Amino acid sequence: MSGFGAMVTKNTLKVIIITASIALLSIVIVLTRHTQYHYHSVYREFYLIPLVLAAFWFGLRGALVASGVITVFYVIFLAFFWYGLSAEKINAFIEIVFLNGMAIILGVLREREKREHRRVQKVENLALIGKTVSGIAHDMKVPLVAIAGFAGRILKKLQQDDPHREQLAIIYQESQRLENMVKDMLDYARPLKVNPKREDVNRLLQESVALVQGLAADKEVGLEAALTAEPCEAALDPGRMKQVFINLLTNAIQASPPGETVHIRSRSANSRVVVEVSDHGPGLTAEQKENIFTPFFTTKKEGIGLGLIMVKNIVTAHAGEVSFSDNPAPEPGVTFRVTLPREEAAEP
C-alpha cells in the first residue's frame, strides 16, 4: 500500500473511532430516562474523550467539528425530550458551552504544538544541510581554484585568433561561477561574524550601485538612486552590508526586463535607516513569497538559492529587519526593504 493510501486509511479509522464514540454516548443518553438526570451529567463528561481525540488527531478543525456535532445532537435532544426550563437543562446548556470552549482551547494548543514541531524539524534539517554542504564545498574548493587558475594562465598566453581560445574561456568562466557557488555555500555554513563601526549607508549604497553598473548595462536596465540628504550613519559591517546591497541590486536587475529601471531609495525613520530596492519584474508567486528566505530555494537557472538567506542573516546580525512587498498598482515588481538601527550598536 502506498504512503498516501496508508495515511487515508489511518485517518479514516480515526474518524470512525471519534464518530462511534460520539454516537455510542448519544445513544446511551437517549435511552436513559430524563428523570435520571444525574446519569446524564456523568455521560456528558465522557464527551471529552472523542473531543480530545479529535483535537489531538486533527487539530482545531477536528475539535470544532466534533464539538459541533455534539452540540447539535444535545440541543435537539433537549428540545424533543425535555420539556420546560429546569436547573438540569440550564446546567446541560452550560456544559455544552464549556465543551465548545474546551474544543477551541485544545485545538489551538494542538495547532501551536504542530507548528513548533515543524519549526524545530526545519531547523534540524537546515543544520544537517549546512553541515553536508560545508563538507562538499570544502572538497570542491581546491580543485576548482586549480582549474580556474590554470585555465586563466593558459588563456592569457593564447593568441586572440587561437581556435581553442573560446573553449578555454568557457572553462575559465564556468570554473569561476562554480567557485562563487562554493564560496556562497561556505559562507552559509560558517558562523556569521560582523565587525560593526559607524558607516554612511548612502556611501555604501553608491559604491554598491557602481559595482553593478556593468550588469545593469548588459541587461539594458537603468539604475536610479534617490538617497536622502539627511545623515544616514549606522553601526554596521561595511563589507557585509555591501554584500546585502549588491545581492538585492543584482536580483532586481535580473528580475527587470530590458528598458525598465531599478529604483534605490534611502530614508531616515526615527531611530532607524530604511533602504529600499524596487524592481519592475513580474513579481512573486505565492510559493516564492512563502519560501523566499528558505535556503536552496531558487527559480533561477543560475545560483543555488543562498543569496537572500544570507541577506536576511546579515541584516539580522545587525539587529535589523528585511522584508518585501508588491509594488503599488499598477506598477509591476517587488520592493525589498532593509531596516537598520541608526544609533544602537550591532551585535557581533
In a domain, 59, yes or no: yes
Within a domain: 260: yes
Write the Ramachandran bin of 340: left for phi over 0, alpha for psi from -120 to 50, otherwise beta.
beta
Residue 323 and residue 226 in one domain? yes
- Percent of the chain predicted with pLDDT > 90: 19
Q: What is the model's pLDDT at position 345?
A: 44
pLDDT of residue 125: 72
End of a domain among 76, 95, 121? 121
Cis ω for the linkage preceding 257 (within 30 of 0) = no
Q: How far apart are the first and last CA of the chain?
A: 53
Q: Look up the CATH number of the domain holding residue 332.
A: 3.30.565.10
Domain of residue 161: give its range.
129-189
Q: Do residues 326 and 239 share a domain?
A: yes
Residue 298, domain member (yes or no): yes
In a domain, 58, yes or no: yes
Q: What is the mean pLDDT of the chain?
A: 81
Does 189 have pLDDT greater than 70? no
pLDDT at 133: 66
Same domain, 117 and 133: no
Secondary element (H or E) of residue 168:
helix 165-189
The verdict on 261 and 176 lying in the same domain is: no
Given its phi and psi angles, is residue 296 left (phi above 0), alpha (psi -120 to 50 degrees) or beta? left
* Cα–Cα dist 70/303, whole Å: 55
158 and 107 together in one domain: no
Instruction: Determine the average pLDDT of the residues in 228-243.
Output: 86
> Could you tell me which residue, 54 or 343, shows the higher pLDDT?
54
| Higher-scoring residue by pLDDT: 120, 212 | 212
Q: Are residues 214 and 331 in the same domain?
A: yes
Rg (CA), the chain: 31
Least confident of 57-66, 205-214, 295-304: 295-304
Please state the rounded mean pLDDT for residues 108-135: 77
Return the pLDDT at 286: 85
Q: Is the CB of residue 205 less than 8 Å from the CB of residue 264?
A: yes
- pLDDT given at position 7: 55
| Residues 212 and 170 reside in one and the same domain | no
Give the end of a domain, one of 77, 103, 121.
121
Q: Is the pLDDT of residue 267 over 70?
A: yes
pLDDT at 290: 83
| Mean of pLDDT values over 67-96 | 76
Q: Cα–Cα distances in Å, from 26 out to 21, 71, 76, 249?
A: 9, 11, 11, 65
Same domain, 315 and 230: yes
117 and 135 fall within a common domain: no
Tell whether 203 and 336 lie within a shared domain. Answer: yes
Note whether 8 and 98 are same-domain residues: yes
Same domain? For 149 and 270 the reply is no
Quick check: is 212 in a domain? yes
- Residue 347 counted as domain residue: no
pLDDT of residue 221: 92
Model pLDDT, residue 190? 67
Residue linked to cell 486509511 = 9
* 346 within a domain of the structure (yes/no): no
Please identify, among 121, 146, 169, the residue that sits at the C-terminal boundary of a domain. Answer: 121
Task: Judge whether residue 222 has pLDDT over 70.
Answer: yes
Average pLDDT over residues 128-140: 67
| Domains of the chain: total | 3
**347 vs 231, higher pLDDT:** 231
